[in-house]
Chain A
């Protein structure tokens, strides 16, 4: 038991945003938090770190419940950090000072920040004033600040915003490295395919709760995945139940209950009709997302 959230309820006035949310996250985990805009991702972060009032529920980290007392909240803030908004950096400070500041505030053992700077390829600009930074440079700086704070629980909200593919890969790799220190990292991101590269589990928020969790290590159900025009769907014959037809003509056909020959036959058929590659494997975050939140043309067979 590491981070345990029980019956967490958040309301804005009479409007309930999150209702009795429950989950448990083990140490050394990266959790992807996925939901459409305005569903409550940031609210969930803000509630756990107590930046907003919570109406009901408890937050327990390593067996200790952090209640609504100033002392508990101060203790909670020693072990939980929240990803800074790149627009809220101090423009007259340089990047090095920002990282030093987070290190000084959270990390008493004076972690060497030069290693962080080098690892994130920030040496060339870190001593310049933040007001000279591009969006991607700022985003990397915010990430470096979190690494320097080095807390047990890290909330990374929209961490990949403004990063180019190379830096997305860099940040993903660093996330994988730091989780090995027993950290709990929750990442809210809309780069769904990227989440599959480093997240151990994905939480889908829906209907004011963690609606669905998906662990790619444990996902056993296989699907035949390809792309097919809607008009050509009939050529596939009768589709098995729970077949997904998602945005961008993406089709996911469950193999459960099908014989090996039937699976091969379906793959070959789809390959002939599909404009792009066909693969066999479990659903990814992207497919689950489209399934759960129903893209414009998504539907599921009965």
Chain B
């Protein structure tokens, strides 16, 4: 630890680092107020479309098909759906949400109504003896989509959470902010902060930093840890300030609001709080690896632009690997983008789990340690070369 204090001071007195960290903090802290769309977007169009579709079903299915027992049951369910959608459409059209006087009891709970409609639609897939079943289900979402919707609505009901229409609600802003942080922003900041941790000393302070009785790998770990801690201090402080600012200007929404993670059979809903903690935790682990890579590369290259470019290129490796899904699933480099992996945007998301992501991070870390074990055996000479020890 005898080097820690001095490496920390060196970083903190670097104006470039100060500016980057302050800019990062300000960007994140002001994210909700400066970069978000403030208008509330109620799903009026979607409700209108669903209402019209339900209406169309009545018109296209022959009346005699509704005469059977199953047909009658379907008819009643469709009618109930149309009534719900009609009421929602009216309320949303008033642009007053749940506050339309005299109708509070009708639209008191979008969640319960959603569950009723989704369960009805799912039951249509089981009505095999209904003559126009094929025609009927062509008007409604797929069974998988309905099941996912039902999981979402059930989660809301179990947790007693209301649907949040307000994109400016603190929880939804937090959700977007966490997604932003876990993406290329972290890579860029990690790349910039690590990119001259060694090269600066090699170029400007060579005679002072050579011959320190501490191995290059130990110095690598110290410098990585310092950069990583500083980045996350700025990020976490920014997120907390951003969330606090949002709570001042908006009273709707809850941090228990559900978001879907992974996909396929693995898909599940967790609260925004859990999602944020999970994504931030994974991003912290991944960003440590990235800062470590960037700092290590700064030992190899004295050109910071080259180091930054290489690190950012690495961020896009998963996009290439996903062109070959069979290989991607088992390749640790696929796990370099946390958010799309967690939110189920990648096809392989269906087959993975959080422990598997962490295991792949550990594999990446070990690979990095092995590569730099050999690199740190080289001597960084004053002329900017890395030379092999000969004797």
List residues of A whose CB falls within 8 A of some B CB: 49-57, 68, 70, 74-75, 77-78, 80-85, 88-90, 92-93, 97, 101, 104-106, 108
Contact = CB atoms under 8 A, between A and B. Distances in A.
Contacts of B206: 85, 88
B13 A52 contact: no
Interface string B351-391: 00000000000000000000000001101011000011111
A104 B208 contact: no
Contacts of A50: 379, 389
Interface string B323-335: 0000000000000
A53 B389 contact: yes
A53 B208 contact: no
B391 A55 contact: yes
A51 B390 contact: no
Interface stretch (B4-12, B252-260, B298-306): B4-12
A211 B13 CA distance: 47
B390 A85 contact: no
Contacts of A90: 10, 13, 205, 208
Contact of B387 (A52, A77, A81, A97): A52
Nearest to A8: B391
B221 to A, nearest CB: 15
Contacts of B211: 49, 51, 77, 80-82
24 contacts: A51-B379, A51-B381, A52-B381, A53-B388, A53-B389, A54-B390, A55-B390, A55-B391, A57-B391, A70-B377, A75-B213, A77-B211, A78-B213, A81-B211, A82-B210, A82-B211, A85-B207, A88-B204, A90-B10, A90-B13, A90-B208, A93-B13, A105-B213, A108-B2
A104 B6 contact: yes
Nearest to B216: A70
Nearest to A155: B211
Given A74-B214, A97-B9, A89 B208 contact: yes
Interface of B: 2-3, 5-6, 9-10, 13, 204-208, 210-215, 376-377, 379, 381-382, 387-391
Given A57-B391, A85-B207, A77 B379 contact: no
B208 to A, nearest CB: 5
Contacts of A93: 9, 13
A115 to B, nearest CB: 21
A-B pairs with lowest CB-CB distance, top 5? A78-B213, A77-B213, A85-B207, A53-B390, A92-B13
Given A50-B389, A88-B205, 15 more contacts: A49-B211, A51-B211, A51-B379, A52-B387, A53-B379, A68-B390, A70-B376, A77-B211, A77-B213, A81-B211, A83-B207, A89-B208, A105-B213, A105-B214, A108-B2
Q: Which of A49, A88, A89 has the most CB of B within 10 A?
A: A88
Nearest to B13: A92
A53 B387 contact: yes
Contact of A88 (B6, B208, B214, B376): B208
Nearest to B206: A88
Contacts of A92: 13
Contacts of B377: 70
A49 to B, nearest CB: 6
A53 B213 contact: no
Contacts of B388: 53
Contacts of A74: 213-215
Given A84-B207, A88-B208, A106 B391 contact: no
B371 to A, nearest CB: 16
Q: Which of B215, B376, B390 has the most CB of A within 10 A?
A: B390
Nearest to A75: B213
B389 A68 contact: yes
A54 B391 contact: yes
A160 B13 CA distance: 30
Given A55-B390, A89-B208, A106 B215 contact: no
Given A51-B379, A70-B377, A82-B207, A101 B391 contact: no
